[in-house]
Homo-oligomer: A and B are copies of this chain.
Amino acid sequence: MHKEIKVAACQMYIEPGNPAINTKTIIEEIAHAKANGDDIIVFPEMAVPGYLLGDEWENEAFVRDCILFDQEIIAATAGITAIWGNVSIDEEKAGEDGRVRKYNAAIVAQDGRQLGISYKTLMPKYREFDDERYFYSLRKMAQDSKRTISEYLKPYHIEIKGKQRKVGISLCEDMWNDDYTLNPIQTLLDNGAEFIINISCSPWTWRKNDKRHRVVRQRIKSNPVPFIYVNNVGTQNNGKNIFLFDGSSTFYNPDGSLAKVAAGYKAEQLRHTIFAKQQKADTKVQLSSGQDREELLQGLIYGIRDFYKKIRAKKTVIGISGGIDSSLSAALFALALSGENIYAINMPSKYNSETTKSAAHKLAKNLGLNYAVIPIQHSYEYTINQLNNAEFTRLDGSDVITKVQLSQLNNENVQARDRGSRILAGVASALGAVFINNGNKTETALGYSTLYGDVNGALAPLADLYKIEVYELGKYINERAGKEFIPQEIFDIPASAELSDEHKVDEGKGDPIIYPYHDKLIRAFVEFRLDPQHMLEFYKKGILAEKLHFDNALLQKHFDTPAKFIDDLEHKWKLFKINYFKRIQAPPIFAVSRRAFGFDLRESQNNVYFTQKYLQLKSELLK
């Protein structure tokens, strides 16, 4: 009987940057676990301060404030063992930024006293992660003191129900060691850990949970012990990207099977008894790729709700054109915030078809939105007229005159800016609402959008979804609802900007982008970090379609010669690179893919470059 340990995995909601609120949550949850007779309660990494705080880690008053809260939590641990994440400092030593040295730490307390503190060993520094920037690692500590990692990474000896247990405590990245020269979990196991706790603050991305299950199995393969993974819920951001924390805290059996998995995006205590006589896998919770679209949808809905809570916004203004992007946005917001909080505006010029105008109205009706039509034709004409009549005089005595003359493309951009900056921004400010951006990842990559026009908005919920994924998620929302939220005609017409007579949807005219191919090309650039050189290598070998996962017939159809293929490849690479100037000023994006634009993909405004091998391959192919 005394072998069993009752563990509460507290998948809490973390309010980033507010240790007072988080401490209150932690103390309430400890009381709750005590009432349930739990032996151990485990909280996520950085449960007290939050994790993605930018350079607020340099604010020493804030950091010391976070640490003070440990005392309150420790005092609340009478009759239980608690483990939580917080920042920790070393007063005696400087960090490598010259400030007080900080650690990403796990604090262990029992019966009102602190048993110890563990420091994170592996410091993630890819994608949005910046642990090395802010925290000193156990690895550096070991190097400084000329001791081995193993001397530090020992399990805690904790008395539970009268028996000493060896508890191995790790933080997030410490279990994701495949690319490091250290293996902290193995070290803990080698040092006798009877079970492993991993406290994390780990954002959701597509299929990451499946990968985690495989990783845990691998970690405990040679030493089968229970493994407890505790993650938080909420959203945290670094400005350009908003990350979705799904929780999905998990108890693993010693064989790596799933004992229990917490619900996604739900603040809850998941309880499980480890070392119980009978252990069995939880068959309910096998995650599968069939859930992809539902997981994505849940993530986006949760993200919208939490972001709006954070910025204390309720109402949304959204421009709806009758195209798929704005329709999906509107549907997502209706699901997240309900129709009464959505103010949808259709802003036609003479270039907008009856088809799309009526589709926009139908969409608003299907979703029960507040709806207005605010035309831009008059103001568009006024602007091009005013600007075309403007002239500059050189005031150097020469009085040289320069006349302003807008081109067709300039005129298109005037329409987009009129909608984004004049109407949407104006209405949103009057209603005390925020307005959102409907751009997808494909157009964000290629700059197929107007700065201060459709690039505007407080949030870009779709900007990590390629165009085809936008269509698919739109279809799924209809399927799932068993009714037509998004009118069918919106799926049937070509994707089009409707900014000139060249964009007439009723004549089948649409965007100059081959989405089934270019979506994949951009994914290769952005997510797989491939270069045009790789594309030419694949193309030459005839394996491009296979490598990028598109239908090979597209190549034949659109690029019947290598010259045409290369022309388009260079054009798209240049657009991708040059249009970073728009992304610099673009709104925050939910990160849901392997790599989102924003802080997740750090770019630089430089001239476009092609490697020597690329140029060589090109000249071979053009021979």
Question: Given known contacts A584-B239, A602-B238, is B392 in contact with A343 (CB within 8 Å)?
Answer: yes
Q: Which residues of B contact A395 (CB under 8 A)?
A: 361, 364-365, 368-371
Q: Is B414 a contact of A393 with CB atoms below 8 Å? A: no
A139 to B137, CA, bound (A): 13
From B17, B371, B404, A431 is in contact (CB under 8 Å) with B404
Say how far A566's CB is from chain B's closest CB, in angstroms.
16
Residue of B nearest to A367 (CB): B395
CA distance A27 to B280 in the complex (A): 68
Check A580 against B406 for contact (C-beta < 8 Å). no
Taken residue by residue from 99 to 123, chain A's Cβ proximity to chain B (1 for < 8 Å, 0 otherwise) reads as 1000000000000000000000011
Contacts of A125 in B (CB 8 A): 96-97, 132-133
A311 to B599, CA, bound (A): 22
- A533 proximity list for chain B (CB < 8 A): 61, 65
Is A295 located at the chain interface by the 8 A CB criterion? no
Give min CB distance, A336 to chain B, whole Å: 17
- Check if A394 sits within 8 Å of B379, measured CB to CB: no
Copies of this chain present in the complex amount to 2
Kindly provide the distance from the CB of A145 to the nearest chain B CB, expressed in whole angstroms: 10
- The reply to whether the CB of A423 lies closer than 8 angstroms to some CB of chain B is yes
> Does any Cβ of B come within 8 Å of A285's Cβ?
no
Chain B residues whose C-beta falls within 8 Å of the C-beta of A402 in the assembled complex? 343, 370, 431
**CB atoms of A239 and B580 under 8 A apart:** yes
Q: Which of A3-11, A49-57, A557-565 contacts B (4 or more CB under 8 A)?
A: A49-57
Residue of B nearest to A51 (CB): B604
Do A379 and B383 form a contact, CB below 8 Å, given A65-B612, A125-B133? yes
A218 at the interface (CB under 8 A from B): no
Give chain B residues whose Cβ lies under 8 Å from the Cβ of A404: 372, 427, 430-431
Query: A94 to B601, alpha carbons, bound, how many Å?
Result: 20
* A283 located at the interface, meaning its Cβ lies under 8 Å from any Cβ of chain B in the complex: no
Q: Given contacts A61-B534, A61-B613, are A452 and B425 in contact (CB under 8 A)?
A: yes
**A611: Cβ under 8 A from any B Cβ:** yes
Residues of B within 8 A of A340 (CB): 394, 396
Binds B, one of A35-43, A163-171, A178-186, A204-212: A178-186
Report yes or no: B179 in contact with A97, Cβ–Cβ below 8 A: yes
Q: Taking the complex as formed, is A271 at the interface, i.e. its CB lies under 8 A from any CB of chain B?
A: no
Kindly state whether residue A386 has any CB partner on chain B within 8 Å.
yes
Any chain B CB within 8 A of the CB of A276? Answer: no
Complex: how many Å from CA A446 to CA B65? 25
- Answer whether A95 and B386 are a contact pair too, CB < 8 Å, given A61-B533, A604-B53: no
Q: A59-B529, A143-B143 are in contact. Are A97 and B68 (CB under 8 A)?
A: no
Query: Which of B56, B392, B423, B588 is in CB contact (< 8 Å) with A371?
Result: B392
Check B430 against A405 for contact (C-beta < 8 Å).
yes
Chain B residues with Cβ below 8 Å from A32 are: none
Cβ of A219 within 8 Å of any chain B Cβ, yes or no, is no
Q: How far is the CA of A615 from the CA of B143 in the complex (A)?
A: 40
User: Which residue from B237, B426, B607 sits with its C-beta under 8 Å from A383?
Assistant: B426
CA distance A98 to B126 in the complex (A): 10
Q: Are A396 and B368 in contact (CB under 8 A)?
A: yes
Residues in B with CB closer than 8 Å to A400 are 370
Considering the chains assembled together, what is the distance between the CA atoms of A452 and B434 in angstroms? 13
Please judge, given known A-B contacts A369-B394, A370-B395, whether A383 and B604 are in contact too, CB under 8 Å: no
A372 touches B390 (CB 8 A): yes
Instruction: Judge if A614 is at the interface, Cβ distance under 8 Å.
Output: yes
Contacts of A144 in B (CB 8 A): 181
**8 A Cβ contacts from A14-64 to B:** 15-20, 50, 52-56, 58-62, 64
Known: A125-B96, A429-B410. A20 touches B604 (CB 8 A): no
| Nearest CB of chain B from residue A177's CB, rounded to whole Å | 10
A407 within 8 A of B: yes
List of B residues within 8 angstroms of A584 by Cβ:
239-240, 587-588
The listed residue (B18, B58, B98) touching A178 by CB distance below 8 A is B98
Q: Are B406 and A417 closer than 8 Å at their CB atoms?
A: no
Digit string of A361-386 for contact with B (CB within 8 Å is 1, else 0)?
10011001111101000110011001
Contact yes or no, A387 B62, CB < 8 A: no
Q: Tell me whether A418 is interfacial, beta carbon within 8 Å.
A: yes
Residue of B nearest to A379 (CB): B382
Q: Does A322 contact B (CB under 8 A)?
A: no
A323 surroundings in chain B (CB, below 8 A): none
The answer to whether A425 touches B396, judged by C-beta atoms less than 8 angstroms apart, is no
Q: Could you show 9 A-B contacts with beta carbons less than 8 Å apart?
A: A19-B609, A61-B614, A65-B533, A130-B133, A372-B391, A372-B392, A378-B382, A585-B585, A599-B602
Please give 4 more A-B residue pairs, beta carbons under 8 A apart, in addition to A60-B529, A585-B585.
A18-B607, A54-B601, A96-B179, A369-B396
